Chain A
Amino acid sequence: MNWADTILQGILLGGLYALFAAGLSLVFGIMRLVNLAHGDLIVLAAYLILVLVDTLHLNPFVALVIAMPIMFGVGWLLQAYVLNRTLGPDILPPLLVTFGLSVVLQNGLLQAYSADSRRIPSGYLDTASISIGSLHAGVMPLLTFVSAVAVILILNRLLYATELGRAFRATSDDAVTAGLMGIQPHRTFAIATGIAMTIVAVAALYLGTRSNFDPTIGPARLIYAFEAVIMGGLGSLWGTLIGGIILGMAQTIGGAINPEWQILAGHIAFVLVLLFRPRGFFPRAVD
């Protein structure tokens, strides 16, 4: 086994997991809502991109540009008409409603697209790679990682340097007082979920171009996203990237030792982190 290469692949895989996690982290940070359908929404977006690529014969990246506003709309509607009704001190309604949504999405996709594995064709990028010395990195994995960093940069900029970001943070702190400032919490939440779904579309592009997918793989993506968020520390987007990288490295190293251990190694890394650093690596001071 080439250790340096394995670690590099792990880091790049971490970029994908950070993309899965960023939307989950954003939504949880703003409205303390954990969306159990997050993974299935990623799969939904992957099918959306696939359909755009197949029917309009678009380049997947062009399809992404179209899918992003559509997913924003999906997120906005979902939050405004369904999830906003579930918010409150009781954690049961949001959990059970999003769990129900997960089942509905999965089976809806099964009904529409069958259980067959699909893949978004990305042409020559599929196999293109860059080599430096003995290290080889696929262009798609590199693009995934760069996209994850870019998404986190943009999100941080949005949260900490715009009026909307201030409104997000203020609403997260205290929705009643935010209302006194003229902020409509439910509208703010709808925008936040819309943004999260835009990120989900980016994640879906890479999910769908790098490997096969089918309607049932959503829950596992939710779990990876969740593990990245928790390992990184709630409330920190850079922490989420680190969490994703740890997960990606654990999986590739585990997989290099024995292919059957790949997924298991990731989960075990997560359990170990949680046992020794219960609040993750970069917990936000205020929570």
Chain B
Amino acid sequence: MDGQTTIWRVETKTSASTAFAILAVLAIITGLAAPIYLPRAMLQDLFFILTMLALAQSWNLLAGYAGLVSVGQQAFVGLGAYVMFAGVVFLKLDPLIAILLGGIAAALLAIPAGIFAFRLQGAYFAIGTWVIAEIVRLLVAQWKMLGGGTGTSLPASATRHMQGVDLVHRLFGFRPAQAVDVICYWLALLLAVATIFMVYRLLRSRHGLALASVRDNQEAARAVGVDARRLKALVYLASAFVTGLVGALIYVQKARISPDAAFSVTDWTAYVIFIVVIGGIGTIEGPIVGVLVFFALQKLLADFGSIYLMVLGLIGIVIMLFAPQGLWGLFASRTGIQLLPVRRFLRGGPIKN
């Protein structure tokens, strides 16, 4: 040796990411305080954006990272929502507890659903998940005590006496209906941030590396000891849980449910897919960009009904064909900026002693 040692470190940090982390914390604090300075209508818009973001992140984890293209996420949204309703209506649970129950129910559904759908390869997995969602929708429509095919409403007293309503009322002086919105908004913020954090941590862990290797080459990954099936099953389960929670939360706020709405493929899967595709599939930043573009398009075009969906579909197709990395991917590849870096960099090198 000539007095040289080599010190290499594996890092994921970039300078933009450090700045972003600080900004993110500030944004979360600003977000938490939003009920103080934002009117109720805008809070409801933010609620919509945040819940769609959480759904998009969990679909992105599924499709963009684990290669599991599901078009049946509405199964988990719908079941989560219906179980939440059941918890409130039959068990007289606090809606907040019932939301948790909804998430757990969705995760439990993911076990048989996964056993079934994982028998189907690639593209057929997609339609398999759709079939599952249809089955659950048709079964739930038989649930006469929750209104069968026409659906039902949450008893107004249940949400009004929800945990925290009283506190918000005393803190800000909001009427109960408005206080419910505030709590739902906070929960949506919590869920969106927690989902992003969970995805981020998962991708940075050794499981993240394993997922990337499975996505790139399943055979090679198996050869180095990555259990692809188990990993994919885990991701499927986690994504179902988050989707179920979000579904339940959305329907606490909506307070009215029907099978067709709660299991809508357009609302809970098509929108989510377009958000991720437009923003950039396989990145954490992508869905964030996507949900903002999606919301802006909706505000602009919502009055045009079906034309809006046509435009959304066309944009999705064009992006998939000509810029499959999405808007964020285009931006990142031009600038090299990564805000939530999950890619690993080898830093350091030979050091002279």
Residues of chain A having any CB pair with chain B under 8 Å = 28, 32-34, 36, 82, 85-86, 91-97, 99-104, 106-108, 110-111, 219-220, 222-223, 226-227, 230, 260, 263-264, 267-268, 270-271, 274-275, 278
State how many angstroms separate the Cβ of B149 from the closest Cβ of chain A.
Answer: 8
Tell me if B312 and A36 are in contact (CB < 8 A).
no
Please state if A264 and B307 are interface contacts (CB–CB under 8 Å): no
Stretch among B76-84, B96-104, B120-128 lining the A interface: B120-128
Which residues of B in the span 294-334 have a Cβ within 8 Å of any Cβ on A?
305-307, 309-310, 312-314, 316-317, 320-321, 324
Closest 9 CB pairs of A and B: A34-B123, A103-B313, A104-B313, A107-B306, A100-B316, A100-B317, A107-B309, A110-B306, A264-B138
Additional A-B contacts beyond A95-B71, A274-B116 (15; CB < 8 A): A33-B123, A34-B123, A36-B127, A82-B321, A95-B123, A96-B316, A97-B317, A101-B313, A103-B309, A103-B313, A104-B313, A104-B314, A111-B310, A267-B131, A267-B138
CB-CB < 8 A to A82: which residues of B? 317, 321
Q: Let me know if B313 and A223 touch, CB within 8 A.
A: no
The reply to whether B321 and A263 contact each other, CB–CB distance below 8 Å, is no
Q: How far is the CB of A106 from chain B (nearest CB, A)?
A: 8
The CA-CA distance from A111 to B312 in the complex, in Å, is: 14
- Contacting residues, chain A, for B313 (C-beta < 8 A): 100-104, 107
Residues of B within 8 A of A219 (CB): 130, 265
- A96-B320, A100-B314, A103-B313 known; A271-B116 Cβ under 8 A: yes
B281 an interface residue at 8 Å Cβ cutoff? yes
CB-based contact A223/B134 at 8 Å: yes
Give the Cβ gap from B296 to chain A, nearest Cβ, in Å.
19
Q: Which residues on B sit within 8 Å (CB–CB) of A28?
A: 123
Asked if A91 and B131 make an inter-chain contact with CB atoms under 8 angstroms apart, the answer reads: no
With A96-B320, A103-B309, A267-B135 known to touch, is A91 a contact of B123 (CB < 8 Å)?
Answer: yes
A286–B313 Cα distance when bound, in Å, is 36
Alpha-carbon gap, A260 to B123, bound state (A): 30
Report the minimal beta-carbon distance from B323 to chain A, rounded to whole angstroms: 12
Of the residues B67, B124, B270, B274, contact of A226 by C-beta under 8 Å:
B124
User: Which residues 239-267 in B have Cβ within 8 Å of A in the complex?
Assistant: 265-266
- Inter-chain contact A85/B130, CB cutoff 8 Å: no
Chain A residues with Cβ under 8 A from B69's Cβ? 91-92, 95-96
Question: Would you call B116 and A34 a contact (CB within 8 A)?
Answer: no
Instruction: Name the distance in Å between A270's Cβ and chain B's nearest Cβ.
Output: 7
- Interface size (B, Cβ < 8 Å)? 40
User: Contact between A85 and B321 (Cβ–Cβ < 8 Å)?
Assistant: yes
- Residue on A with the closest CB to B274? A100
Question: Whole-angstrom distance from the CB of B150 to the nearest CB of chain A?
Answer: 13
CB nearest neighbor in A for B266: A103
- Which of chain B's residues has its CB closest to A229's CB? B124
Residue of B nearest to A267 (CB): B135
- Check A91 against B122 for contact (C-beta < 8 Å): yes
Most buried by A among B120, B122, B135, B317: B317
Residues of A within 8 A of B312 (CB): 103
Q: Find the A residue at minimum CB distance from B149.
A: A260
Determine if B71 and A36 form an interchain contact, defined as CB atoms under 8 angstroms apart: yes
Residue of A nearest to B139 (CB): A264
Alpha-carbon distance between A260 and B305 when the two chains are bound, in angstroms: 31
Across-interface contacts of A103 in B (CB, < 8 A)? 266, 270, 309-310, 312-313, 316
What residue in chain B is nearest A108 (Cβ atoms)? B310
Complex A-B: 20 CB contacts under 8 Å: A34-B126, A86-B321, A92-B67, A92-B320, A94-B123, A97-B320, A99-B273, A100-B317, A101-B313, A103-B270, A103-B309, A103-B313, A104-B313, A107-B306, A110-B306, A111-B306, A111-B307, A223-B131, A271-B116, A274-B120
B127 touches A93 (CB 8 A): no
Min Cβ gap A166→B in Å is 25
B230 is an interface residue with CB less than 8 A from chain A: no
Complex Cα gap A34–B123 (Å): 6
The answer to whether A230 and B124 have CB atoms under 8 Å apart is yes
When chains A and B are docked, how far (Å) is the Cα of A101 from the Cα of B318? Answer: 11
| Nearest chain B CB to A266 CB, angstrom units | 10
Q: Which of A104, A110, A222, A268 contacts B127 (CB 8 A)?
A: A222
Q: Which residues on the A side are within 8 Å of B71 (C-beta)? A: 36, 95, 99
> For A268, what are the chain B residues with a Cβ–Cβ distance below 8 Å?
135
A36–B129 CA distance with the chains assembled, in angstroms: 13
Is B277 on the interface with A (CB-CB < 8 A)? yes
